[in-house]
Amino acid sequence: MSKSQIQLAIAIGNTRIKAVIFDSKKQILEEYAYTHEQLPNLEAKLATRNFERIAIASVVPDMITSWHRLPQTQTIATADVPLQGLYSTMGCDRALAAYGAGENYGYPVMVIDAGTAITITAIDAHKNLMGGAIIAGLRSQFACLHQNTAALPDLPIPETLPKRWATNTHEAIQGGVAHLLIAGLQAYIDDWRSQFPQSQVIITGGDSDYLMKWGLKVDMMEKNLVFLGIMALT
């Protein structure tokens, strides 16, 4: 495939760096995911590749890649996303995920991004931001309990929904986080659907699988919403 036919999109999140290579038809050809510490590995992996255009969306301003300095690189900010009512401190990843969801699956749309933080973003039929919410992500919640107490253990995320009424500390932590999180997210979904019953509710992010296994009622999971947003801009 010639240089003119492939593009590179990079999304730098709070925990990981993801990249996709896509063609002129906006088809994703390759996908990569690395931790921040593994950025040199990603750069080495793609060092010999030539891209007509490169787009970078980052929520970590201090992390500069070798691609930032190239003339064909566009650094995407929240203000570049053509949705109305976005505020200046809103992360570009949230804006791009919402835009990617709406452009590919229709407006109105509600997006849940289950990553280091869990964000909710709601866009109406006229591409206006209706609002949203931010809470600590699954791993963040378990880590917070462990790091800020003297005796509570650092526990893994359970694969299946724990029982509601626990009789030991491990199950009490896992069940408390899981049930309260699902109930809170479902309350947001139900309220949104009461206002916009025709809306899609889409989930993305690394911990989406857990939330869906635990019974969160969404319409679909789409892991590449941020990249769909980037591709819609390019």
Active-site residues, by number, are 93
- Phi/psi at 71 (5° precision): -65, -25
Upper half-sphere CA count for residue 53 (Cβ side, 13 Å): 13
- Tell me the three state secondary structure of residue 169: helix
Tell me: cis bond preceding 162? Omega within 30 of 0 counts: no
Q: If DSSP codes are grouped into helix, strand and coil, which group holds residue 33?
A: strand
* Residue 201 contacts residue 112 (beta carbons within 8 Å): yes
Is the distance from CB of 26 to CB of 104 less than 8 angstroms?
A: no
Half-sphere exposure of 124 (CA within 13 A, CB side): 9
